[in-house]
Structures are given as C-alpha cells and as structure tokens.
Amino acid sequence: MKYYSTKNKNQPFSFKEVVIKGLPDDNGLFMPETFPNFEDDFFEGLENMPLDKIATEVIYPFVKEDIPEEVLKDICKKAFNFEVPLIEVKPNFYSMELYHGPTLAFKDFGARFMAGCLGYFASQNEREVNILAATSGDTGGAVAAGFYKTKGVKVTILYPKGKVSELQERQLTTLGENITALEVDGTFDDCQKLVKKAFLDGELNEKINLSSANSINVARLLPQSVYYFYAWSRLKSAGKKVVFAVPSGNFGNITGGLFAKMMGLPIENFVAATNVNKVVPDYLQEGQFIPKPSIQTVSNAMDVGNPSNFERLMSIFNKNWQLTRNVIKGYYYTDEETLEAIRHVFNKYGYILDPHGAVGYKALSSYINGKSSTIGVLLETAHPIKFAEHVEESIGKKLEVPDGISELYEKDIAKIPMSKSYNEFKDYLLNKSGVKIK
Ligand SMILES: *Cc1c(COP(=O)(O)O)cnc(C)c1O
C-alpha cells in the first residue's frame, strides 16, 4: 500500500515513512492510495473472530510491505488486549464501551497500536528514538501508556502546569521507566510550540532521533476502524441496518469508521455528534466549512473549532457535499442537554454515560426515532469516572472507582519543571540523551 498527501498525488510514501513522518510537509494529511475490498466470506467469518484477530486481518493490507504478518499479530495482541463490551442500553440501541484501556478513553486504541508500530521500526534502528508529544491532557496519557517499556524508544510528554486534571497528571507522571513528563510553566499552545520548534531544529535533529506521536498519524486511524468491524460482526445476526454514532472533536474516530465503510463494511450511516463546537454539523447543514475558535464545554475532548481530519473527510468524499451528507448525519447539543441526557439514561435505563457518550446518545436517539429496521451503536469514548464531578451531579450518586485508578493515587509522581523557553527545553533534550551542548 502506498500513501499520499491529500495535497499531492504525485509523491508516494511507504507506511513506515508516514508513521515516522506523521505529517507531510505540504500541510496536507496522509491517506492510503486505495482501500482493500474484503469479500463476502471474510464478513461471514467475522462473528467468531476475537478482536485482535480482526485487527490483524483488517490492518495487514495497509502495512504488509513494512511489517511482517507475525509481527503485526503481536502488535495487535498487545494493543487490543482489553475488553470492548457491547451493552444493550435499550432495544436496538447499544453502547460500545471503548474505554477499558489503561487511560480509560478510546484514544488508547490508536496510541497503543502506533506505539507498537514505532517500537518495531525503532528495533530496526541503531539509534534510540525520542518521541516528543505535547498534550492538553488526554492524548499524552494514552501515548505514554502505549509506549511504556518499549525498547529503543524514549518518550517526553509536555503538559501545561495546572491545566490538566489530577487524574491526567497522575497518568503522565507515575509511569517512569522510558517515560518523562515535563511540566511546562505555560499553556498547551506553549507546549506545542516547543515541540514544533524542536522538530525544525537542524542541530538537535542531527544529534538525536526525534519522532512525533501526532494525533493525525495514519497509525492512529487504522486501529480505529477495527472496532466498527467488531461491533457489526456481533450484531449482524439481527439482520438490521447498523448505524454508528460517534462523539466527535477532531473527527479521527469517525474517519476510522469511514475507512471501514470503504473496505466494504455495510454501515448505513454515521451519526456525527458534537457539542456546541459544531462546525461540521453546520457544514453538513449548509455546505460551508467555517473554522471557529473553540468553546469550552463539559465534553471537553470535543472542544475543537477546526477539526484536523476534515481534510480527510473531504478527500474521502471528493469534496462532494451531497455525498458527504448522505453518509454522515450531524447533530449537536448544549451542556445542559448533555447533562440532562446523563440523568435521563441513568434514571430510565440504569446506564451511566460520560458527557461525550451523552452527546452521542442524544444524536443517535434523534436519528433512530422509531426506525425499527435499524440497530444503533453508540461509541462510548470515555469512562464516566474521568468526568466524575459532572456525572455524579447528574445521577445524584457517587461513582465506583475502577481498580487501575485507585492504584494511580498510591504511586510516586515524577516530573521535571520547565519554563517555556526553547533553550531550556533543548538543553534538557541534549543532556538527558547524553549529548552535551557546546
Ligand atoms: C478525543 C476524544 C473524542 C473525539 O474524538 P475525535 O477522534 O477527535 O473526533 C471524543 N471523546 C473522547 C472522550 C475523546 O477523548
């Protein structure tokens, strides 16, 4: 499989190149040249296949020139090693809980798979790979946990001091080993600037082998296709149309689903659910894409005013608005509606949603509205405990704390304080790598 930038169809890249590079130099995003088309017998055999086996089958055509099948099997076994329960919330309405990974959010799928790929590529290298990642909270934790103890890879996570939750900080600072957390006296944007500057610094790149763990990496999208196949295979015997509702911010999760559809998975529609950061629902409604500054909400992982994967949606649908809105149905909700949905679903069905899932729940309920020939699957993207305050207030009771979380509160924290000065950051990178500056 070859990959191309959405902005240049003339220069092909290999899977290995796009994973290591992350982003093309021309402001586009990498896309596969084509999609494998799976035959009927593949789909017939899916219902008894475990998740990690489905992952290997689905992903192999995309990587086979660079990763041997046996290695891919092993990467998928390690990346897809947690439960993905499909809970029937009400008749023909399922919640697929994607939050049973180490950081309790669906980003574990992408981060763990990408870590497996980069770890494999690093093992072919003489030089240690240094991953740099700036985080506003969630992504960094998933990346750190994904790369934990990967040989030949060091990870440096930059996070803004005082601007992540205590749980998120613990997820970043209690791992140790090959993971280092830098607490930057600044904002998320300052963290991102430091990382960007490091990648452009010729002297630094000569001395150490830098790589990014960017959220728009192709290696994060491919594993996000897998659970669509999984859910469909477990529900297909009902003989109904299957629709997925995806709580969306940067639209990477829904892009994974669109990849699955391109591979032949018969998904009727995607329900794109957002909070009031609704530039994509607006586009679907009106035909104009107008990026806006983001607005803070209770479903804060979706507070995105300029979704980075919109470029990929346009590439998939050839910039055809009508085609796009035939497949993707957009809905958006306010915080008030979101919290009310958490309360309603708990009172009526005894099921606890997180704020992101609650946005998706409302959207899917509106879409289905009496369509008895349809099964809806809500992608529940975060564990309610991550948003305990809002959830507990809505349902009027305390949440149980999962095992992994209470352990986090017993571990020691290790972090390195850092100003937002680039020279201090560069000095740190060179010295910890054993290379002295000047
Ligand atoms: C990142 C995130 C989302 C949004 O996913 P995108 O791929 O950016 O659309 C939704 N919910 C949670 C909990 C997330 O962490």
Q: Residue 300 Cα, ligand 1 centroid: separation in angstroms?
A: 9
Mutate to test the pocket of ligand 1, among 143, 218, 227, 248 (most ligand atoms within 8 A of CB): 248
**Ligand 1 contacts CB of residue 84 (under 6 A):** no
**Ligand 1 contacts CB of residue 193 (under 6 A):** no
CB 391 within 8 A of CB 401: no
**Ligand 1 contacts CB of residue 302 (under 6 A):** yes
CB 384 within 8 A of CB 391: yes
**Ligand 1 contacts CB of residue 358 (under 6 A):** no
CA atoms within 13 A on the CB side of 24: 20
376 in helix, strand or coil? strand
- Cα(218)–Cα(18) distance, rounded to whole angstroms? 7
**Ligand 1 contacts CB of residue 250 (under 6 A):** yes
Q: Residue 203 Cα, ligand 1 centroid: separation in angstroms?
A: 35
- 101, 152, 278, 349 from 383: Cα distances, Å: 10, 31, 23, 17
Residue 23 confidence (pLDDT): 86
Ordered by where they begin, the domains of the chain are 83-105+220-395 (3.40.50.1100)
Residue nearest ligand 1's atom 14 by CA: 301
**Ligand 1 contacts CB of residue 105 (under 6 A):** yes
**Ligand 1 contacts CB of residue 107 (under 6 A):** yes
Query: Alpha-carbon dihedral of residues 277, 280, 281, 283, nearest 10 degrees?
Result: 130
Beta-strand relationship, 241-247 and 374-380: parallel
- Residue 128 CB-density burial (10 A; 0-12 exposed, 13-18 middle, 19+ buried): middle
For the chain, how far is it from start to end, CA to CA, in angstroms?
A: 44
Nearest Cα neighbor of 220 from 143, 296, 144, 113 is: 113
Token pair recorded at residue 77: 């076994």
Residue nearest ligand 1's atom 1 by CA: 301
Region at 161 (left for phi over 0; alpha for psi -120 to 50; beta for the rest): beta
Mutate to test the pocket of ligand 1, among 29, 95, 96, 107 (most ligand atoms within 8 A of CB): 107
Q: Residue 266 Cα, ligand 1 centroid: separation in angstroms?
A: 23
Q: Apex CA 66: angle with CA 65 and CA 69, to 5°?
A: 80
Token pair recorded at residue 400: 């149980």
CB 391 within 8 A of CB 354: yes
Residue nearest ligand 1's atom 15 by CA: 301
Mutate to test the pocket of ligand 1, among 302, 313, 333, 391 (most ligand atoms within 8 A of CB): 302
**Ligand 1 contacts CB of residue 248 (under 6 A):** yes
**Ligand 1 contacts CB of residue 221 (under 6 A):** no
Q: Residue 206 Cα, ligand 1 centroid: separation in angstroms?
A: 35
Residue 433 confidence (pLDDT): 54
Q: Residue 428 Cα, ligand 1 centroid: separation in angstroms?
A: 32
- Cα(242)–Cα(152) distance, rounded to whole angstroms? 42
What is the number of the ligand 1 atom nearest to the C-alpha of 256? 7
**Ligand 1 contacts CB of residue 224 (under 6 A):** no
φ/ψ (deg, to 5) at 302: -110, 15
Catalytic residue among 107, 193, 362, 420: 107
Judge whether 107 counts as a catalytic residue.
Answer: yes
SS3 assignment for 283-301:
HHHHCCCCCCCCCCCCCHH
Q: Residue 301 Cα, ligand 1 centroid: separation in angstroms?
A: 5
- Tracing tokens 């593949």 back to the chain, one arrives at 42
SS3 assignment for 363-409:
HHHHHHCCCCCEEEEEEECECHHHHHHHHHHHHCCCCCCCHHHHHHC
**Ligand 1 contacts CB of residue 29 (under 6 A):** no
Q: Residue 399 Cα, ligand 1 centroid: separation in angstroms?
A: 22
Residue by residue, pLDDT tens for the chain (438 residues) are 999 999 999 999 999 999 988 889 898 999 999 999 999 999 999 999 999 999 999 999 999 999 999 999 999 999 999 999 999 999 999 999 999 999 999 999 999 999 999 999 989 888 888 999 998 877 888 999 999 999 899 999 999 999 888 888 999 999 999 999 999 999 888 998 899 899 889 999 999 988 888 778 999 999 999 999 999 999 999 999 999 999 999 999 999 999 999 999 999 999 999 999 999 999 999 999 999 988 989 999 999 999 999 999 999 999 999 999 999 999 999 999 999 999 999 999 999 999 999 999 999 999 999 899 999 999 999 999 999 999 999 999 999 998 888 888 899 999 999 999 999 999 999 987 544 333
Nearest Cα neighbor of 433 from 180, 150, 241 is: 180
Residue 437 confidence (pLDDT): 36
